[in-house]
Amino acid sequence: MNEERKLIVSSSPHIRTPRGTQQIMLDVIIALLPALVAAVIFFGVKPLIVTCVSVVSCVVFEFAYRKLLKKNDSYMDLSAVVTGMLLAYCLPYTFPWWAVIIGAFFSIVLVKQLFGGIGKNIWNPALAGRAFLLVSYAVLMTTWSDGPDAATFATPLASLHAGALAPDGLWNMFIGNIGGSFGEVSALALLIGGAWLVYRKVISLRIPVAYIGTVAVLTLIFSRGNNHIMWMLQNLLSGGLLLGAIFMATDYCTSPVTPNGQLIFGVGCGLLTVLIRYFGGYPEGVSFAILIMNCCTWLIDQHTAPRRFGVTKGKKKEEAKG
Amino acid sequence: MLFKSHGGVHPNDKKAPANEAVITTIPQPPEVVIPMSQHIGAPCTPLVAVGDEVKLGQKIGEAKAPVSAPIHASVSGKVTAIAPHLNNLGNMVTSVVIENDFKDTPAETMVPATEEDLQSPEKIADIVREAGIVGMGGATFPTAFKITSGWGKVDTVLINGAECEPYITSDHRTMLEHPDELLKGIQLLMKACKVDKAYFGIELNKKFAIDLLNFKGAKEMGIEIVPLKCQYPQGAEKTLIKTITGREVPPGGLPANVGCTVFNTFTAYSVYRACYEGWPAIERVVTVSGSAIADPKNVKVRVGTSMQWVFEQTGGFAKEPWKIIMGGPMMGMAQYDLEVPCGKGTASLLAFSDDEDRTVADPVCIRCGQCIDGCPMNLQPIYMYMYQQKGDVEMLQKLNITDCVECGSCSYICPGRLHLTHAFKTGKAMVQAHMAELKAKAEAEKAKTEAEAPKAEAPKAEAPKAEAKPEAPKAEAAKAEAKPAAPAKEEKKEDK
């Protein structure tokens, strides 16, 4: 009666969600595509080439590093593709391919894999790679155009940094018809991507809303010039704020996991971004703000544990008294 | 009115295949194996010997301890063996093997209670105890003890009809096919608990059952049907209490601490059968489902029937299964031997042949934090896992690992496929072992210092030196003792 059967005995639960790491990363990649489409519309085919170079080199570095050190393959989780896309998105479309590869190497090998790979790195690989390229190739990183007016081409952010409203119209800034890193320019495309991530429950609204909200409030209160609202809106739409708030600050690995921690993280990013934009040497503060907050992730998590079930605040106090 | 609990996950409920299947009876097995322990608490002692003739419903296992439940014969026939047999928890348990004579000769004790008896809470509790009724949702806590220990503390009775585990439809079918009996059973439980208000929480995927029970006049009986959002683990005791009453059971506490007591749907139905039909807990509606099952069904199964028999009689496997589960897919136990008998708390038998558990060779945490969002107990599985892997017991205690109800939500939702729940089960055992060790140490220290005390007094000149040494460990031991003592005190406070 008892036939020979190979049965697996394991601890419960015996079912798992179909959504694994790969599916989540795929959702992020899908969310990043509208921004690429917008970049191609405004800058031609070059952004596409930069993105391809970046993605391919990131995946190759990820694969090669793990092969060389005889670790299990991790390129199939697609996280290297996401890093590659994000790294490319914060570069100007004029950026030379060889420098992209150097940036990818820094991101994947030094920032991500040396710390143990996915889930263990301290800084966002793409942002750290961008920061590295910014200090190494400052001129290349701020060459926003390859046209004849390259020298005088200014991004809205540069105007804001100088203390004046940008001449570009709000609509142009919203759809992305402005100068800047090609993945950052189109607020519309980034918001569509963000909506996809929230709809698919890849990210919660906590970090982006806290981040963007903080920047909005601060720039409204401490606005320069007479048009306060305009100053705030231009600050929100310029530079890498939306890309940073939606895609970079929400990076799982380098942001807090507790709900309250995520709010604090977002507010911290917003605060630092405005501080750097107002008082820093660089016009842009997003990448450094997020990188600094990345360092605080562990600390924030430690102090924002969710309330223990069955213990309310009032009760705790009572207990302490009694 | 729609209630939602904190945390939780949303697995595909997979109830469709068995949801429409009317409860049927399968042929009885030629032999039943009845374990003497089918509940939380002390095992029973067999009342029969090999060779004895037993009748249907005859008590064959006596429960002596207060937290225990007697065991009854689920068929009539002859006792052929009393020997250890594998049970669903993987333990060898003394079991009575009865050869079925297929006559179902009822025992003299199987008589309905009189209307008079059913007016007294004490009498009802007695009947429930004698019928061997336990929590039928799977926890198998003796129901009579739950009733009597709640007297004076409990003001609300909750009936758990969430059936939040995927695949299982046995409670749902019971609601649809025996609504009057079920409501009467709930009334009996209310009376037994000396309470006149009950909430019956049912998840919204059982809309017909909600409507039917309302139509049958639940409200007039003091039973409020509470529609619950479909979300796992909606039916976990503490979660259910929180969603329906808003009360939170304190850590380490019992539902009675917040004036609640929770009974499973099938427990209420069993109480009805015990009181009005004289039937002890010898039959359970079991859902047979899963990707390997040819024809998913809900069937009445006598306690002690082997899984093999149930699978055979319900159409067998369509595909070769690689996993057999007794209970739900989230908290049930995987089985390796189909000879394991079904018990009082077996709500389902599942057989999987697809890639349900999606195990990967190298699980990696990507720090997505979904385990924190999904935890109904507000824990931080991601960090608990980290410290469990390191074996850091103190940090595990700090993170309140003992609050974990092992519902499996974190493992289910983890995209990195970490074995979180499994780690916490072992982590809890680690904490328990650590506490026991500390306690033993403290006691040994105490005994040592007591033994040394007269010695130290005698040579007075040496006293300061000799005392200085045991002082330090004593202080440590005192500290260690203070820690476990604290939660115990809390509980006592709540009790009063």
pLDDT digits (tens, 9 = 90+) for A227-240: 899 999 999 998 89
Q: Give chain A positions within 8 Å (CB) of B11.
A: 15, 17
- The domains of chain B are located at 16-283, 284-352, 363-456+468-496
CB atoms within 10 A of CB B353: 16
Render pLDDT for A69-83 as a digit per residue (tens, 0 to 9).
Answer: 999 988 899 999 999
Q: Does A240 fall in a domain?
A: yes
Chain-chain contact of B356 with A24 (C-beta, under 8 angstroms): no
Query: If we measure between CA atoms, which residue out of A36, A216, A241 comes closest to residue A156?
Result: A241
CATH number at residue A26: 1.10.3430
- The 8-class DSSP code of residue B341 comes to B
Residue A259 within any structural domain of the chain: yes
A16 interfacial to chain B (CB closer than 8 Å): yes
The string of DSSP letters for B103-162 reads --PBPTT--PPPTTGGG-HHHHHHHHHHTT-B-TTTT--BHHHHHHHHTTT--EEEEEE-
Alpha-carbon span A293 to A270, nearest angstrom: 10
pLDDT, position A281: 83
The length of chain A, given as a count of residues = 322
Domain that includes residue A70, residue range: 21-302
Q: Closest chain A residue to B10 measured between Cα atoms?
A: A17
- A10 within some domain: no
Residues of A with CB below 8 A from B360's CB? 20
Q: Across the interface, which of A11, A256, A312 has its CB nearest the CB of B421?
A: A11
Size of interface A-B (CB pairs under 8 A): 162
Nearest-by-Cβ selection for B367 from A20, A253, A259: A253
Which residues in chain B land under pLDDT 50?
1-2, 460-496
Q: Which residue of A has its CA nearest to B325?
A: A14
Q: Is residue A13 part of a domain?
A: no
Chain A residue with minimum CA distance to B425: A11
How close is the nearest chain A Cα to the Cα of B331, in Å?
5
CA distance B113 to B278: 7
Cα–Cα nearest to B337, from B312, B306, B305 = B306
Interchain proximity A15–B379, CB inside 8 Å: no
In chain B, which residues have their Cβ closer than 8 Å to the Cβ of A20?
A: 358, 360, 415-417
- Are the beta carbons of B61 and B44 closer than 8 angstroms? yes
CB contact under 8 A, B357 and A307: no
Judged by CB atoms closer than 8 Å, whether chains meet at A305 and B248 is answered as: no
Residue A214 lies in a domain: yes
Gap from A221 CA to chain B (nearest CA, Å): 34
**C-alpha span between B203 and B226 (Å, rounded):** 8
pLDDT value of position B449: 86
Q: Touching check for A24 and chain B: CB below 8 Å?
A: yes
Contact B364 A118 (CB under 8 A): yes
**Within-domain flag for A319:** no
Q: Which of A 46-85 lie inside 8 A of B, CB atoms?
A: 72, 74, 77, 79
Strand pairing category for B333-335 and B323-326:
antiparallel
Choose among B262, B271, B269: nearest CA to B285.
B269
Closest-CA residue of B relative to A21 is: B415
Q: Which residues of chain A have pLDDT under 50?
A: 1-2, 150-152, 320-322
**Nearest chain A CA: its distance from B432 CA (Å):** 19
CB count within 10 Å of CB B72 equals 26
Q: Which CATH architecture has domain B16-283?
A: 3-Layer(aba) Sandwich (3.40)
Structural domains in chain A (count):
1
- DSSP-assigned letters across all residues of A2-17: ---------PSP----
> Scanning every residue of chain B, which has its alpha carbon at the shortest distance from the alpha carbon of A73?
B362
In a domain? residue A74: yes
Measured between CA atoms, how close is A65 to chain B, in angstroms?
A: 17
Cβ distance B287 to B137 under 8 Å? no
CATH of B284-352, one of 3.40.109.40, 3.10.20.600, 3.20.20.70, 3.40.225.10: 3.10.20.600
Q: Is residue A221 part of a domain?
A: yes
